[in-house]
Structure 1
Amino acid sequence: MSRLRRMPRRRSYDQYCSAARALDAVGDRWTLLIVRELLAGPRRYTDLHADLPGVSTDVLASRLKDMERDELATRRKLPPPAAAVVYELTERGRGLLPVLTALARWGAPALEERRPTDAVRAHWFAVPLMPVLAAC
């Protein structure tokens, strides 16, 4: 007799509130940082993992599956000669740009001093500039 594998119950606030529903989709650790990475365009899994220091491969894979399920991101295979699988934001996922921009502005005062353990990627500084660049 084969056992059917049960999918774990999706975590939810179970509140009829738009903020709670939004957090159901993007409130898990790493999700908004994956969105940040995908705002620049399609990315391979290995590139996402390299630019998200500290995320485990299990967590990254899980978040990407969740983001696909919630229609924030999609996965597609590039045609030859690349023949690589990439992840990219859907229109709904790209709609998170103002959220990330506001969060980046809110968090900017915390950047006064860099900690020795802080990772840095130059493209991370582009998020607050994206709305300005889009207007040009």
Structure 2
Amino acid sequence: MSRRSYDQYCAIARALDAVGERWSLLIVRELLGGPRRYTDLHADLPGVSTDILAARLKQLEAEGLVVRRRLERPANATVYELTERGAALHPVLTALGDWGLPALGEQRPTDAVRGHWVTGGAPIDGVSPAGAAPS
């Protein structure tokens, strides 16, 4: 997959070069909670194909936002985790969630929900966003 660029000398364009592809910021959202195995990422990103997930992880690694590392025994698994630069996206995702919250509306029958998804801010009127139950 060839890397696309806006080819603009602009900080926003460069940021979008790094994380503007579909699924990239949602992968970052998942990794904000800590290191995750590929299979766990795939399970918590309903709708993403394995090819796209692998490509996005590879791109995020190339951008220096994600690292892949092997856990020692007994876990003996490979995990992905955010670098310091990747973790610096936390306030960006928080701002996007706060901005998107008013447009969230009612949960659609086709909407996937995970208890750890943060859509910005505290629960409204004692109800978690989109009626999500803790996982």
Report the TM range for the smaller structure's normalisation: 0.7 to 0.9
Q: CA RMSD in A?
A: 1.3
Structure possessing the higher radius of gyration over alpha carbons: 1
Q: Residue 82 of structure 2: which of 68, 80, 89 is its match? A: 89
Unaligned runs of 5+ in 2: 123-135
Contact 2:97 2:118 in 1 (8 A): no
Structure with the higher helix share, 1 or 2: 1
Give the deviation of 1:111 after TM superposition: 1.9
Instruction: Output the TM-score relative to the length of structure 1.
Output: 0.86
Whole-angstrom distance in 1 between the partners of 2:46 and 2:77: 22
Whole-angstrom distance in 1 between the partners of 2:6 and 2:90: 23
> Paired residue for 2:23?
30
Could you say if the C-alpha distance between residues 106 and 64 of structure 1 is closer, same or farther in structure 2, counting changes exceeding 3 Å?
same
Unaligned runs of 5+ in 1: 1-7, 130-136
* Aligned residue type for 1:9: S
- Structure 1 stretches of 4+ moved >6 Å: none
Instruction: Output the TM-score relative to the length of structure 2.
Output: 0.87
Give the deviation of 1:126 after TM superposition: 7.1
Q: Size of the alignment, in residue pairs?
A: 122
Contact 1:36 1:127 in 2 (8 A): no
Percent of matched pairs sharing the same residue: 71
